[in-house]
Every structure is written in structure tokens, then in C-alpha cells.
């Protein structure tokens, strides 16, 4: 069962989940078919509330004297399976499921920082995250410093007594750059600050930030975890390793009585998972970005095939890179797996299982007009803003996901105006290459002047 604030005790043997390979965890962690009326599929608990046996039972559940769900804004058994499954895949102690990736980023950072505090963020960021930190967090009184992910001197300089988090994407969207997580963790920890990593693009199959010292991981489960473009969701995972007590001056919220939750001291009540318990009890419970049980079911269904999908998407990405590299209309390809890419060494160090991220950017010789002509001619790739789907997708970030960035911020994020982003799915590679070939031919025919000028 889970408690009112969802601290998971064992519905099953969680320790055995940790022994499985990730391929197996994606199918079985957090749930055994025998538990709920012998249902092999995880049941959807489509309920807002859970019934009390008596007045005393309700009081005990609220006071955490007894464990059990109360209300689905805070905890729900279908979500608990998703949480345990993703915690197992990431090698964390506990997770919290929320309504979207942006909600995960909001809750993750708001658990650490409030008015008067400061965060440091890497410049390679999803546009929505950039916007959230630059405008929404700022409007709540949390200011930020943006540093290049490889500028370690700038990071050291940016860390101060008010800093509550360093935030970075393990694999950048759309730049595809790889963060040197071990180094970032060392520098953050030397200053007593927690490292929060958005692991959406990589997924735990390609990279596990906790193996390199990260403290908190966030995901947009809308992407590779769900993998079928049919449900929004987000997850926050706690490594359980950051010593909040030792850093109580910087993070008093974990080791002093919490006024927003019955005066609980999280490090006393939940010593191994104080962070995620507070995220649930204070932020999710009071702000309400709860994931719907049906969405959790869809995300669990998609997650079952994560390992197979990542293998095929990875090999499709390599086939597309090979094709684009030889194409006369293509000016530049952005993918850390490429020889000559600045982050190739980091990709070789950090990416697991011989897999590459299924996300790449490329620029056409004809610039932005050619990119538009190419884009409008696609027949199989879907023109939309999402990534990590089993279907292949295309977007022009400067015109969509990152359109609110200034020219300077775009340049810092490595996004040229005509950059095309491809998210590779699991179709047959020959069909993907045929679609790219015909769209590139259309782009060449539509922009002859630009090509000659180039
Ligand atoms: C790296 C990354 N993080 C977070 C998000 C936000 O996720 P969601 O759309 O589920 O809110 C996205 C969305 O594209 C993303 O690409």
C-alpha cells in the first residue's frame, strides 16, 4: 500500500525489481499480476477518493498512523506502479508521477527553491523549460543564471549561498549535446547544491544520471517512456543520496517542521526519501498537478516496450544519419554520435548499450526556405512538436518549440533558424529514407537560388 503521501511500502518485493535487467523491469517492476484480483494488466483505479472504514480510520490515514490512499490528487495505486517502475529503471529509491513533464520540472524545482533563492541552468534546454525558468520561476522570486554546460568555471562562479539547484538536460533537446554529469555533480556537490537532471531525451535505457552522481531526475513521460504520443505525464525520481540534513542551512525545508504538512520533519519521517515525500505532500498535494489514472495506465503500457523501441529507434537514427551525411542538400548534422561532434567523447562515455539518442537536427544548404520546403513535403514523418514517439516526427524548433527564445538564446542553445529536428520512431528504415529523399528533392527544386548561392 501507499500512505496518504504515497510513501511506498512493498506491495511486492521491490528489492527483487532492482536485480532485474531494465528490459524486465519495464514489464514487471512495481506490480505482480497476482496482487489485484489476479489481473495480469495493471488495473486502472479510476477513482478520486478511497473509502474510510470509520472516523478513526480516516484520522489515522491523514495522520500517517496507518498507511493507505486517501485522495487521488496525492496518491493512487495505478500511479504507484508507474512510480515504482520508473524508480527501478533509474536506480532511484522512489518516484512521483505528475500531469506532464513541465509539471515535473515545476514540482522538482519548487521542492528545492522558493522566493529569494537561485538556480543555475545549462543553456542547452527544451524551450518550454527555458521559458518556465526565465519567466515563471523568476516571477515567483527565484532567479537563475544560465551557463554553458561545458563551462565549468562559469558554473563554479555562478554557485552561491542562495543557489538551490543545478538543472541540466542529460541529452539536450534539440541540440543533442551530452552533459558531463560526473563533473557537474562534483562541482554542484562541492558547493553543497543538488544536481537535477532532465533525462527525457536519453530515457533510463541510454543513460542513468544517478550512476554519475545526479541527485534528482525528471522526465517528460509524454516522450520515450509512454512512447505512443497518446498521454501526457511527468516523473520525478529521488536518488535518496543527497544528505539534506548535512545541508540543512541551505535546505531547511527537509529537516525542520513543515507547516504545510502537519509539522512533519521529512528527514525524520522519511529518512531515505525526504525529497520525494516533500514533493508529494507539499507541492503535488497543494498545487494539484495530478496525473490521471488512465494516463498512467497508457504510460505503463507504452513503457513495457521501451527497450525494444529504443533499439529500433537507435538503429533508424544511425541509418538516417548515414543517409543525410551523403546528401548534397544537407549542410550540417547535429548528433553527438557523429565523428567530429564536440560531445562525441561524452557520448561514448555516458551512453549505454551501444544505443544513440533517436533525436537529431540538420541544416539544409538552402537555409530556412529550404527547411520549410522540405518540411512541407514530408509524407511519412509527422509534422508536429513531440519527440520519443514510436512514429517518426519532424519539427522546426526556431519556429515552434523555441520560438520565444531571443536570437542570442537560440544561438547559445545551438539552434539555427533553419534547423530541422527529427525524432526517429520504429518504422522500417527504408520507408523513412524514401520519405527524406523525396522531401529533400522537393526542397532542392523549391530553392535553387539559395543552393547556387551556397
Ligand atoms: C527535454 C524535455 N523536458 C520536458 C518537456 C516537457 O514535457 P511535457 O510536454 O510532457 O510537459 C519536454 C517537452 O518537449 C522536453 O522535450
Strand ranges, E, within 131-247: 143-147, 163-169, 194-198, 216-220, 234-238
| 379 three-state secondary structure | coil
Residue 198 in contact with ligand 1 by CB distance below 6 A:
yes
Cα–Cα distance measured from residue 139 to residue 229, given in angstroms and rounded to the nearest whole number = 32
Same domain, 229 and 326: no
Same domain, 294 and 325: no
Q: Residue with C-alpha cell 530541422?
A: 420
Same domain, 198 and 285: yes
Strand ranges, E, within 292-367: 330-334, 359-364
Query: With the CA atoms of 288, 292, 296 and 302 taken in that order, what torsion angle do they form, in degrees rounded to the nearest 10?
Result: -120
Ligand 1 center–CA 56 separation, angstroms: 42
Same domain, 68 and 169: yes
Ligand 1 center–CA 64 separation, angstroms: 34
Reported as half-sphere exposure (CB side, CA atoms, 13 A), residue 82 has a value of: 33
Choose one of 303, 330, 345: the last residue of a domain: 303
Residue nearest to atom 6 of ligand 1 (CA): 101
| 440 three-state secondary structure | helix
User: Which of 169, 173, 174 should be mutated for ligand 1, with most atoms under 8 A from CB?
Assistant: 173
Cα–Cα distance measured from residue 148 to residue 144, given in angstroms and rounded to the nearest whole number = 13
Q: Any idea how long the chain is?
A: 454
Ligand 1 center–CA 321 separation, angstroms: 24
Ligand 1 center–CA 71 separation, angstroms: 27
Residue 3 falls inside a structural domain? no
Residue 258 in contact with ligand 1 by CB distance below 6 A:
no
Residue 422 in contact with ligand 1 by CB distance below 6 A:
no
Going by their DSSP bridges, the two strands 194-198 and 143-147 should be labelled as unpaired
Q: Which atom of ligand 1 is nearest to the CA of 233?
A: 10
Choose one of 247, 282, 303: the last residue of a domain: 303
Residue nearest to atom 9 of ligand 1 (CA): 101
Cα–Cα distance measured from residue 425 to residue 260, given in angstroms and rounded to the nearest whole number = 44
Residue nearest to atom 7 of ligand 1 (CA): 101
Cβ(371)–Cβ(364) under 8 Å? yes
Same domain, 156 and 232: yes
Residue 172 in contact with ligand 1 by CB distance below 6 A:
no
Choose one of 303, 319, 338: the last residue of a domain: 303
Residue 168 falls inside a structural domain? yes
Residue 203 falls inside a structural domain? yes
Residue 201 in contact with ligand 1 by CB distance below 6 A:
yes
**Sheet containing 393-395: order of strands:** 330-334, 359-364, 420-423, 393-395, 382-383
Residue 2 falls inside a structural domain? no
Ligand 1 center–CA 169 separation, angstroms: 11
For residue 191, what is its C-alpha cell?
558547493
303 to 29, 54, 90, 159, 388: CA distances (angstroms): 11, 38, 13, 37, 12
Residue 295 in contact with ligand 1 by CB distance below 6 A:
no
Helices 367-377 and 429-446, axial angle in degrees (round to 10):
130
Same domain, 111 and 217: yes
Ligand 1 center–CA 141 separation, angstroms: 23
Ligand 1 center–CA 245 separation, angstroms: 31
Same domain, 262 and 383: no
Same domain, 413 and 316: yes
Residue 101 in contact with ligand 1 by CB distance below 6 A:
yes
Q: Residue with C-alpha cell 519532424?
A: 394
Q: Name which of 251, 246, 240, 282 is nearest 117 in CA terms.
A: 251
Cα–Cα distance measured from residue 16 to residue 13, given in angstroms and rounded to the nearest whole number = 6
- Domain hosting residue 199, numbered range: 14-303
Ligand 1 center–CA 454 separation, angstroms: 35
The backbone region for 24, taken as left when phi is positive above 0, alpha when psi lies in -120 to 50, beta otherwise, is alpha
Q: In CATH, what number is assigned to the domain containing residue 197? A: 3.40.640.10
Cβ(64)–Cβ(4) under 8 Å? yes
Same domain, 330 and 198: no
Residue 231 in contact with ligand 1 by CB distance below 6 A:
no
Same domain, 208 and 348: no
Residue 171 DSSP code: B
User: Which of 86, 220, 228, 292 should be mutated for ligand 1, with most atoms under 8 A from CB?
Assistant: 220
Same domain, 266 and 383: no
- pLDDT tens for the 454 residues of the chain, in order: 344 444 433 445 678 899 999 999 999 999 987 777 889 999 999 999 999 999 999 999 988 788 889 999 999 999 999 999 999 999 999 999 999 999 999 999 999 999 999 999 998 899 899 999 999 999 999 999 999 999 999 999 999 999 999 999 999 988 899 999 999 999 999 999 999 999 999 999 999 999 999 999 999 999 999 999 999 999 999 999 999 999 999 999 999 999 999 899 999 999 999 999 999 999 999 999 999 999 999 999 999 999 999 999 999 999 999 999 999 999 999 999 998 899 999 999 999 989 999 999 999 999 999 999 999 999 999 999 999 999 999 999 988 888 877 888 788 777 888 899 999 999 999 999 999 999 999 999 988 754 455 4
Whole-structure pTM value: 0.95
Residue 2 DSSP code: B
User: Which of 86, 98, 101 should be mutated for ligand 1, with most atoms under 8 A from CB?
Assistant: 101
Q: Which atom of ligand 1 is nearest to the CA of 104?
A: 11
What stretches of 7-76 show up as alpha helix (H) in DSSP?
14-19, 22-28, 55-62
Same domain, 103 and 131: yes
What pLDDT does 185 receive? 98
Q: In CATH, what number is assigned to the domain containing residue 317? A: 3.90.1150.10
Domain count within the chain: 2
Amino acid at each position: 500500500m501507499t500512505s496518504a503521501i504515497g510513501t511506498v511500502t512493498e506491495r511486492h518485493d521491490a528489492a527483487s525489481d532492482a536485480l532485474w535487467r531494465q528490459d524486465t523491469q519495464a514489464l514487471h517492476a512495481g506490480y505482480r499480476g497476482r496482487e489485484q484480483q489476479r489481473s495480469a494488466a495493471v488495473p486502472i483505479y479510476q477513482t478520486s477518493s478511497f473509502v474510510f472504514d470509520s472516523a478513526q480510520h480516516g484520522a489515522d490515514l491523514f495522520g500517517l498512523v496507518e498507511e493507505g490512499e486517501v485522495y487521488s490528487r496525492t496518491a493512487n495505486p495505478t500511479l504507484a506502479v508507474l512510480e515504482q517502475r520508473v524508480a527501478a529503471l533509474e536506480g532511484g529509491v522512489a518516484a512521483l508521477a505528475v500531469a506532464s513533464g513541465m509539471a515535473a520540472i515545476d514540482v522538482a524545482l519548487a521542492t528545492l527553491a522558493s522566493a529569494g533563492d537561485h538556480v543555475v541552468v545549462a543553456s542547452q534546454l527544451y524551450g518550454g523549460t527555458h521559458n518556465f525558468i526565465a519567466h515563471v520561476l523568476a516571477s515567483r522570486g527565484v532567479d537563475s543564471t544560465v551557463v554553458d554546460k561545458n563551462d565549468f568555471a562559469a558554473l563554479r562562479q555562478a554557485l552561491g549561498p542562495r543557489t538551490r539547484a543545478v538543472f541540466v538536460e542529460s541529452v539536450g533537446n534539440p541540440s543533442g549535446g551530452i552533459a558531463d554529469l560526473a563533473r557537474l555533480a562534483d562541482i554542484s556537490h562541492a558547493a553543497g547544491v543538488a544536481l537535477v537532471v532532465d533525462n527525457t531525451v536519453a530515457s533510463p535505457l541510454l543513460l542513468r544520471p544517478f550512476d554519475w552522481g545526479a541527485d534528482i531526475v525528471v522526465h517528460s513521460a509524454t516522450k520515450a517512456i509512454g512512447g505512443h504520443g497518446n498521454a501526457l505525464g511527468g516523473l520525478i525520481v529521488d536518488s535518496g543520496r543527497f544528505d539534506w540534513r548535512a545541508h540543512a542551512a541551505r535546505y531547511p525545508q527537509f529537516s525542520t517542521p513543515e507547516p504545510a504538512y502537519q509539522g512533519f520533519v521529512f528527514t525524520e519521517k522519511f529518512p531515505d526519501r525526504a525529497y520525494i515525500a516533500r514533493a508529494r505532500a507539499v507541492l503535488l498535494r497543494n498545487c494539484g498537478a495530478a496525473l490521471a489514472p488512465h494516463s498512467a495506465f497508457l504510460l505503463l503500457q507504452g513503457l513495457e516496450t521501451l527497450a525494444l523501441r529504443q533499439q529500433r529507434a537507435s538503429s533508424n537514427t544511425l541509418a538516417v544519419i548515414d543517409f543525410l551525411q551523403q546528401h548534397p542538400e544537407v549542410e550540417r548534422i547535429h548528433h553527438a554520435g557523429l565523428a567530429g561532434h564536440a560531445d562525441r567523447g561524452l557520448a561514448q562515455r555516458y551512453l549505454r548499450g551501444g544505443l544513440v539518442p533517436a533525436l537529431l537536427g540538420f541544416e539544409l544548404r538552402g537555409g530556412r526556405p529550404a527547411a520549410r520546403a522540405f518540411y512541407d513535403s514530408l509524407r511519412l514523418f509527422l509534422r508536429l512538436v513531440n519527440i520519443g514517439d514510436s512514429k517518426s516526427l519532424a519539427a522546426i524548433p526556431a519556429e515552434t518549440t523555441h520560438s520565444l527564445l531571443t536570437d542570442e538564446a537560440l544561438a547559445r542553445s545551438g539552434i539555427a533558424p533553419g534547423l530541422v529536428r527529427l525524432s526517429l520512431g520504429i518504422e522500417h528504415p527504408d520507408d523513412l529514407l524514401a520519405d527524406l529523399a523525396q522531401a529533400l528533392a522537393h526542397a532542392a527544386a523549391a530553392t535553387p537560388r539559395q543552393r547556387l548561392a551556397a
